[in-house]
Amino acid sequence: MPELPRKKVGIIACSGEELPEGTITRLAVLRVLHQLRPDDTVTICLPLFLAGGEGDRNFARTHPTIAVDGCEKRCAFRGTEKYSNRPAAAIVVTDLIARHGLVQPHGCRKLDAAGMLAVEIASQQLIEMVDELLGKDGV
């Protein structure tokens, strides 16, 4: 019997270069992709929705997606929705920092301890979302 393709969740980081929160999105997504849920997740660079081909724009039509944004401008969410499909879930790092009462992070190039704590919390939140989207929550 042929093996069916494994269902995966697409995660899209804003990667905003001008804010520490952008670096937090990037590192949180990489942690999930490479360490926490490597078999369940894939990603795409946000600009590829515009610069890439139809295959890239089909990304969110073929995967449930999670948008991870650094700020309220929500480029990852809006970009994914505009050029591909509406994300199934979303994280905004500035909201996460406020909700958890975290210290304001610093360092776009190299995050400080507060930034790394936000990475940890965001990545944990992401794997909960991934598991829920794949129907693995509560297993």
Partner 1 sequence: MSSAQRKVAIVPCSGIGKPYGTISRIAAYQVTEEDRPEQTRLVPLALLVMGDEEYGRIVAESPAITIDGCPQACATKMVQQCGGTIVRECSVLGTARNHRDLKPQGIAELNEDGEKLVVALAEVVVEVIDACAQPSKGVNHA
Q: Which residues bind partner 1 (CB under 8 A)?
A: 13-18, 22, 26-27, 29-31, 34, 43-52, 73, 75-76, 78-79, 82, 108-109
**Least Å from the CB of residue 19 to partner 1:** 8
Q: Which is nearer to partner 1, 4 or 36 (CB)?
A: 36
Buried b (16+ CB within 10 A) or exposed e, 35-67: eebeebbebbebebbeeeeeebbebbeebbbbb
Q: Which is nearer to partner 1, 3 or 54 (CB)?
A: 54
Which distant-in-sequence residues (6+ apart) come within 8 Å of 49 by Cβ?
Answer: 56, 57, 59, 79, 80, 82, 83, 84
**Least Å from the CB of residue 2 to partner 1:** 28
Output the CA angle 129-5-59, nearest 5 degrees.
Answer: 60
**Least Å from the CB of residue 34 to partner 1:** 7
Q: Which is nearer to partner 1, 130 or 139 (CB)?
A: 130
